[in-house]
Amino acid sequence: NIFFMSIVATGLEAGEHDWIEKFIKEKIHDVKEALRTDTEHFSNALCSYWKKDYENSINELSKVRSEDFAFKHNIKSLTLKIYYDLNESEPFYSHIDTYKHFILNNRSVHDKVREQVNNFINYSKKLFTLKNLQETDREFEIMKLKREISENHSLINKIWLLKKADEV
């Protein structure tokens, strides 16, 4: 399922939305049966997110029942992105707190992964704050943040972060 979800995520980032939707329908049966339903719901949530159908994305995420760390982490990451895009301050900051505790309290998380996720969370928080500042106050800070993100080698979701920085 990790390979399957990597194809879905990469294809969506590359803008191949139609191809990915077809791929999910045609190839979901190749995923191990025990992971199939959750993988399909998560993949559909990703597709909905990229279409900016945030309501359906959250709905699909709510159908994922796995207790697997990778699923939980991916759900938290996508939920953060949804709240960011919806510009929902209270849910965004609350979710960041939950996400940080999830990573910190999970003893099985390798230190490198913990660092990558924390960097993602911290950069997301900085971007969210900057996008809600007055335009005259943020241009230099955004340029500086984009450079930091670009140069950081211990970071997940770098493409998404840089895209959001460009949008600000």
Whether the model clears a pTM of 0.75, i.e. scores above it, the answer is yes
pLDDT at 137 over 80: no
Report the C-alpha gap between 75 and 167 in whole angstroms.
23
Residues 6+ apart with CB under 8 A from 132: 87, 89
Return the percentage of the chain with pLDDT > 90, whole number. 78
Q: What is the pLDDT of residues 21-47, one digit of tens each?
A: 999 999 999 999 999 999 999 999 999
Q: Name 19's Cβ contacts closer than 8 Å, sequence gap at least 6.
A: 11
Helices (H), 28-68: 33-50, 54-62
